[in-house]
């Protein structure tokens, strides 16, 4: 894991599951750090999370709910946002 994420794991990250690490990032990371987090972890773990129970702002929860349907069909953030924009443009 990149050193830029160490500040979010003040209790150490050696024994934390990947799903818990993602939850911590979703709750506390700045937006630039969030979209720099490994996309595969987001793709694998976000769909199984109860977004309403994540301790973050309602705006971030809305963003997470918005992107979740696009995770499976994208391999990175660029593809996800391209798909999201294309879908929203066609409404």
**Exposure of 63 in the CB half-sphere (CA atoms within 13 A):** 13
pLDDT, tens only, 9-51:
887 767 888 999 999 999 999 999 999 999 999 999 999 999 9
Q: Is residue 6 part of a domain?
A: no
The answer to whether position 1 is within a domain reads no
Distances from the Cα of 54 to the Cαs of 38, 42, 60, 78, in angstroms?
19, 14, 10, 24
Is the pLDDT reported for residue 60 higher than 60? yes
Query: Which residues contact residue 79 at a Cβ distance below 8 angstroms, ignoring those fewer than 6 apart?
Result: 73
Give the number of domains in the chain. 1
CA distance 50 to 6: 24
* The predicted structure's pLDDT at residue 11: 79
Please say whether the beta carbons of 74 and 80 come within 8 A: yes
User: What is the span of the domain harbouring residue 63?
Assistant: 16-89
């Amino acid at each position: 894991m990149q050193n830029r994420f160490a500040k979010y794991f003040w209790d150490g990250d050696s024994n934390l599951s990947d799903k818990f690490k993602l939850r911590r990032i979703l709750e506390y990371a700045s937006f630039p750090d969030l979209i720099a987090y490994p996309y595969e972890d987001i793709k694998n773990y976000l769909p199984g999370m109860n977004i309403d129970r994540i301790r973050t702002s309602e705006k971030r929860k809305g963003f997470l709910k918005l992107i979740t349907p696009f995770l499976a069909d994208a391999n990175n953030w660029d593809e996800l946002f391209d798909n999201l924009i294309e879908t929203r443009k066609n409404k």
